[in-house]
């Protein structure tokens, strides 16, 4: 493996922390999900903004909880995949 290939694999196989995922989503909601899942973060960001507009912000409580759960599940799946269980 040459040095150019090694540069691309620097973070390959690094376990993600469940605590960090929950903390980031608890503090930042959908923005905190970028740690655990980029696609999920984009989806929840759009849903959170749209729902907040239509409910005058009341839906943020529900979408925030969904973000925390989704982020935790995404980290768990990622770590299982690293261990070869997924």
- How far is 80 from 71, CA to CA, in rounded Å? 14
Please report whether residue 33 resides in a domain: yes
Please report whether residue 52 resides in a domain: yes
Report the 10 Å Cβ neighbour count for 56: 8
Count of structural domains, the chain:
1
What proportion of the chain, given as a percentage, has pLDDT over 90? Answer: 80
What are the tens digits of pLDDT across the range 46-65? 999 999 999 999 999 999 99
Please report whether residue 8 resides in a domain: no
Please report whether residue 45 resides in a domain: yes
- How far is 51 from 62, CA to CA, in rounded Å? 10
Please report whether residue 39 resides in a domain: yes
H helix intervals, the chain? 3-8, 18-28, 38-54, 60-83
- How far is 56 from 54, CA to CA, in rounded Å? 6
């Amino acid at each position: 493996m040459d040095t150019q290939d090694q540069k691309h694999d620097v973070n390959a196989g690094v376990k993600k922390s469940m605590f960090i995922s929950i903390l980031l989503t608890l503090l930042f909601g959908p923005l905190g999900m970028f740690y655990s899942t980029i696609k999920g973060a984009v989806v929840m960001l759009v849903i959170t903004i749209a729902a907040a507009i239509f409910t005058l912000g009341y839906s943020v409580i529900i979408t925030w909880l969904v973000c925390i759960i989704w982020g935790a599940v995404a980290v768990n799946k990622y770590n299982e995949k690293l261990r070869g269980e997924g």
